[in-house]
Amino acid sequence: MAFTAVLTSEWTKIRTVASTSWTLAVAMIVTVGFGALISVAAASGLDRMSALERATFDPTLVSFTGMQFGQLAMIVFGVMVVSTEYSTGMIRTSLAAVPARAGFLFGKLTVATALALLVGLLTSFVSFFVGQAILGDHGTGLGAENVLRAVIGAGVYMALLALFSMGVAAMLRSSVASISILIPFFLIVSNALNAFEATRTYGQYLPDAAGSKIVQVVPDAFGGTDAPYGPWGGLGIMLLWVAASVLGGYLVLRKRDA
């Protein structure tokens, strides 16, 4: 089957499964909603911040604080795109129609990642404008230095997170197993490692900690500890994680039966 036909087929699968549409909608709503709430808290509590926190106040970063919660829905989206075919048994039909397993997997990943990127960019721009409207005089604009990079980077980060999750789901071939590993990993393990100085050396190289640096405009924002890499370096680290995940998923799909 031609690769264009594979893309069309995968697009049909994604748009006809309600769970994938809902998870993308939830990712946007949660990210924008929590970002707005935290922007309200930041705007009202700016006077109570320390001198260091005010000096390193990053209004762009404030707009994207809801991404920490919204990214969980994007993880579920990535998992469901791949694992649903295994749980329903449709994987056998799909591989019979597309015997070239590399073409099948990368067609699926291409369509799903493009959709995640579209939703991620829409989410990032809405989050930014809502957050800056709330911050008012304390906010910033797209024309400020590095702000547009951060806004676009937030959408790219969300898409890469979904792609990473697809690779993990391709390796595990189970929705329950994938979600049971990924959600605690990003929600608990990563935050715990980055919360303590003794473990931050390792935690800062995890995909979410490194990749999310792309949304930071002010170095050492809010008096935090700076990482040994910049925004683009952090995104590069995340890309390595994503590449390893996708490669692992492909190797499992190539060697195992459906």
- Whether residue 224 contacts residue 58, with contact meaning beta carbons closer than 8 Å, is answered with no
What is the percent of the chain with per-residue pLDDT over 70, rounded to a whole number? 98
Q: What does the alpha-carbon distance between residue 80 and residue 145 come to, in Å, rounded to a whole number?
A: 37
Interval 29-55: pLDDT, tens: 999 999 999 999 998 887 788 887 777
Residue pair 79/165 in contact by the 8 Å Cβ criterion: yes
CA distance 83 to 78: 9
* Total Cβ atoms within 10 A of residue 195: 10
Please report the pLDDT score of residue 107 as a whole number: 92
The reported pLDDT for the residue numbered 15 is 84
69-113: per-residue pLDDT in tens? Answer: 999 999 999 999 998 888 877 888 888 778 788 888 999 999 999
Measured CA to CA, the distance from residue 87 to residue 175 in angstroms comes to 8
| Residue 195: per-residue pLDDT | 84
Give the predicted TM-score (pTM) of the model: 0.92
Q: Is the Cβ–Cβ distance between 252 and 234 less than 8 Å?
A: no
Q: State how far Cα 218 lies from the chain centre.
A: 21
* pLDDT of 129 strictly over 90: yes
**Per-residue pLDDT reduced to its tens digit, 184-193:** 999 999 989 9
Which pLDDT belongs to residue 194? 87
Residue 257 pLDDT greater than 80, yes or no: no
Average pLDDT estimate for 54-76: 92
- On the question of pLDDT at 221 being above 60, the answer is yes
Q: Cα–chain-centroid distance for residue 103?
A: 24
